[in-house]
Structures are given as C-alpha cells and as structure tokens.
Amino acid sequence: MRFNPAAVPPPEPAISTRTEKLDHRPPLRQRLNEGSRAAVGPVIRFLVRRGVGPNTVTLAGFAGSILTCVLILERYWLAAGFVFVAAGMMDMLDGSVARLSGRATPFGAFLDSTLDRTAEGLVLGAIGVVLAKDGHWWALGAAFAALTASFLVSYTRARAEGLGIDSNRGGLMARPERLVLIGAGIFFAPLGATLQVVIFVLAGLTILTVVQRVIFVWRALPRAEANRPGGRDS
C-alpha cells in the first residue's frame, strides 16, 4: 500500500494562553508557562466546544476577583485564596478560547487588559482595608505603593510600545509573578505577620521592576529612534 501524505490528519492546533505575554523570559519561566498550557488545554477545548465566548470567560474571572475582595474583607482567607486562584485561571483561559474559537477581537483584548488591572487594584485595595483596620499603617502604605507600581509596570510597557519599543516586558514582578505572590499572601494571611511581609516584598520588587523597565527603555530608545524613518541612520 502506497503512503498518501494527504491522508495524514493535520496536527491539532497548539493550545496557548495569556501567558504568551511573557515572551523573552528566562527558560524556567518558559517551562512553567508550557506546563500550564498543557494543563489547561483540555479545559480550553471544552469551553470552545460548548460555545463559551472569550468575553464571558473574562467577565467570569473579573466576577471571581470581586468575590475575592468580599471574602478578604470578611477575613475568609482560605476561601478567598481558592477563589483568587480560580479567577486567575480564567485569565489564563480567555485568550486561548478567543484564538481557538476564532473569536479574538481588538475589543476583547482591550477588555481583558482593562479588567485585569482593575481586578488587581481591587484585591490590593481590599487587602489594604484589612491592614488599615488592624492598624498596620506601614503595611498599608506598602500596599498602596505596590498598587501604584503595578500600574506603572503596565504603563511603562504600553508607553514603550508607543515609542516603538515592543520588547519592554518581564522584570522580577510582571503580572503573573505578582498574582502568585498576592495569592500566597492571601492563603497564609492567618499566620501572624505573613500578609504584611508579603505586601512589603511585593511593593519592593514591583518598584524594582518599574526601575528595570525604565532603564531598559532608556537604553533601547536611541536605537529605536535611529531605526525610525528619518532617523539618524536614514
């Protein structure tokens, strides 16, 4: 029997997630990202078969973040941790659902990014309220510093892209790393000063990430300017 290449079925589309935002990362992070993609692949295919839209997944994740805030304010730390993780999983799924179902749109990407930042701000705000109620004023200040720096991490990337630099990513505390650290703080909040320590670490490393990205743009901007039409090399 002669081999017919046309009879070989095409390979199944590779499953990717929102963690594709982490291009140009160290190998360890890439391996972790690949492992998470393989783990959530069946869930993504299930959602696509059921006709679940990517915006629905995005909104479900945002609703989970709001529920996390309520649980934090009520100090149901373990429940808040599990809901926070589930909401984070939704954030991993929506981009892949959009691509695999062919329903990716510019507005969907915009909605996802907007709600991601809003959700992170709400959760840190809820933690800050709890810290204030307990009189941990320095930790409260650190929570606000972490919140401000987290927005600056996103802003520096967006502003760099506007200047023609599309590789200003990564650093110590990009969004996935921040979510992991926040989740750890929520889970272990009942254990003494663990939450306060996590918030101080989060604030320090996120501020350092902003500095890293500013330095990256400072170094890359002359090269980007030179490569523009009408630049020094034209």
Fill in the amino acid letter for 175: R
Taking the C-alpha atoms of residue 140 and residue 41, their distance in angstroms, rounded to an integer, is 39
Which two structure tokens, joined as six digits, stand for 62? 């945002």
Catalytic residue (choose from 91, 94, 112, 116)? 116
- Distance CA(212)–CA(138), nearest Å, equals 25
The tally of CA atoms less than 13 A away on the side-chain side of residue 78 is 1
What is the rounded distance in angstroms from the CA atom of residue 192 to the CA atom of residue 195? 8
Is 166 known to be catalytic?
no
Closest listed residue to residue 150, CA positions, set 195, 189, 199, 112: 199
**Active site positions, annotated:** 116
